[in-house]
Amino acid sequence: MRLTLGKQDYIRAAIVAGKINRKAIAEEGMEQEKIKFFTLMTEYHRHEKDAFELAKDYHSIYSTSSVQADENQWRDALQSS
């Protein structure tokens, strides 16, 4: 995903993003992967100018338990959206 966005291949990034199981990254112990995935998705949705999906990405980052525990991280997540 990171490589396709780095090459600015947004069509393939959408294909790869669709193959990632959202329930699997929502499990406990996968917080860092979830944050990384949705951070990459924010880059994709910014390019596509999809404000609703962008807000959902930031909400997913914000709702992660590790972000909720750290005040600086949740402030950043809220200010970014």
pLDDT tens digits, 22-63 = 999 999 899 999 999 999 999 999 999 999 999 999 889 888
pTM: 0.85
Measuring CA to CA, how many Å separate 72 from each of 9, 33, 45? 32, 19, 24
CB-CB contact of 61 with 39 (8 Å) = yes
Output the pLDDT for position 81. Answer: 59
The pLDDT, as a whole number, for residue 70 is 81
Report residue 2 as tokens: 């990171």
pLDDT at 66: 84
Helix residue spans in the chain (DSSP H): 2-6, 10-19, 22-25, 31-48, 51-62, 65-69, 71-80
Q: Cβ–Cβ contacts within 10 Å for residue 61, how many?
A: 24
